[in-house]
């Protein structure tokens, strides 16, 4: 697939490494992952989700728990706000991406600008944490949606929570937030499960301070998402918690993968109504 050379379109940086560069194969493999998830009938669309960002063959089954749910509500989703780490460029604070579109082997996705934070190319040029979500979105949502990708670097949790709130308010009711993060890295399987279990408990319990910088590579976006959930009366519900060992069988250097729905509490009605 020829890469875009336009300064306004962000070409794929990790196609062929984190996911297939062949459009037909990519669409088929991604659709197979999404279609394999059984979403309970009547499950409402959450305002936000937490999703992993490793190569599709490693974390794809966990990520598909989120995208199968988005697919159920594809007609309601107009914009996806993406927040995740900057692995390759040191970053303090938050940086949107100065592109009009993002390209994958499946085509172009229009990017919606934001006035909430400033923009910079540097955190986005080589970054995979947001890019690997895009083919999943294209398969789950089809066409007609836009994305607002924002890299989250070292930041105070309340500041990131406020940025997330502002991004969602700017995007409107037809928007969903995706927080992109993996969990612990390169421990043996038993240690990884113990560490990730503790992180998952902190997420479910709305305790962002207990999420260690060494236990989640997207820690600043994740802490901000959890704090935003707490401030807005939402609670993360665990959809899946997996590791690279689930697909590779290798248990010595394991990476953890989370999937959560960040939901509003159900509305209770009096008996008999």
pLDDT in tens, 150-190: 999 999 999 999 999 999 999 999 999 999 999 999 999 99
Q: At which residue do the structure tokens 């493999």 appear? A: 29
pLDDT at 4: 56
Q: At which residue do the structure tokens 């927080």 appear? A: 179
Domains of the chain by residue range = 14-122+140-146+163-172
Greatest CA separation for the chain: 63
Category of 144 on φ-ψ map: left (φ > 0), alpha (ψ -120 to 50) or beta: left
| Among 141, 151, 180, 147, CA closest to 59 | 180
pLDDT at 269: 53
Q: Which residues of 229-242 are buried (b: 16+ CB within 10 A; e: fewer)?
A: bbeeebbbeebbbb
> With bands split at pLDDT 50, 70 and 90, how would you rate the model's confidence at 1?
very low
User: Token digits for 143?
Assistant: 């066409």
pLDDT of 80 > 60? The answer is yes
Residue 159 DSSP label: H
Q: Which helix (H) or strand (E) holds 110?
A: strand 107-110
Phi, psi dihedrals of residue 19, rounded to the nearest 5°: -160, 165
Q: Where are the strands (E) in 5-160, listed by range? A: 9-10, 48-51, 79-84, 94-96, 101-104, 107-110, 146-152
Percent of the chain's residues with pLDDT above 70: 96
| Among 257, 216, 215, 209, CA closest to 230 | 209
Under a CB-based contact definition with an 8 Å cutoff, are residues 127 and 14 in contact? Answer: no
pLDDT of 121 > 70? The answer is yes
pLDDT of 2 > 50? The answer is no
> With bands split at pLDDT 50, 70 and 90, how would you rate the model's confidence at 108?
very high
pLDDT tens digits, 212-263: 999 999 999 999 999 999 999 999 999 999 999 999 999 999 999 999 999 9
> With bands split at pLDDT 50, 70 and 90, how would you rate the model's confidence at 266?
confident
Arithmetic mean of pLDDT, 122-131: 97
CATH fold of 14-122+140-146+163-172: Protocatechuate 4,5-dioxygenase; Chain B (3.40.830)
Say what the pTM is. Answer: 0.95
pLDDT tens digits, 59-74: 999 999 999 999 999 9
pLDDT at 3: 53
């Amino acid at each position: 697939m020829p890469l875009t050379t336009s300064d306004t379109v962000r070409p794929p940086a990790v196609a062929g490494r984190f996911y297939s560069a062949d459009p037909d194969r990519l669409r088929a493999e991604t659709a197979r992952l999404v279609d394999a998830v059984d979403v309970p009938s009547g499950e409402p669309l959450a305002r936000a989700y937490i999703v992993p960002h490793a190569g599709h063959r490693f974390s794809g089954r966990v990520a598909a728990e989120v995208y199968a749910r988005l697919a159920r509500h594809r007609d309601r989703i107009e914009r996806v706000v993406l927040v995740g780490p900057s692995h390759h460029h040191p970053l303090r604070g938050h940086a949107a991406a100065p592109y009009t579109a993002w390209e994958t082997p499946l085509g172009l996705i229009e990017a919606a600008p934001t006035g909430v934070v400033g923009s910079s190319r540097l955190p986005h040029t080589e970054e995979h944490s947001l890019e690997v979500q895009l083919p999943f979105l294209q398969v789950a949502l089809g066409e007609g949606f836009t994305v607002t990708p924002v890299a989250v670097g070292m930041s105070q949790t309340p500041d990131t929570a406020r940025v997330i709130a502002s991004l969602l308010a700017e995007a409107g009711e037809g928007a969903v937030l995706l927080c992109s993060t993996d969990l612990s890295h390169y421990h043996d399987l038993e240690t990884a499960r113990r560490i990730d279990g503790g992180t998952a408990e902190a997420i479910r319990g709305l305790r962002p301070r207990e999420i260690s910088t060494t236990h989640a590579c997207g820690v600043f976006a994740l802490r901000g998402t959890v704090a935003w959930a707490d401030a807005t009366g939402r609670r993360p519900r665990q959809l899946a918690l997996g590791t690279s060992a689930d697909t590779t069988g290798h248990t010595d250097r394991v990476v953890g993968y989370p999937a959560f729905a960040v939901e509003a509490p159900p509305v209770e009605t009096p008996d008999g109504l």
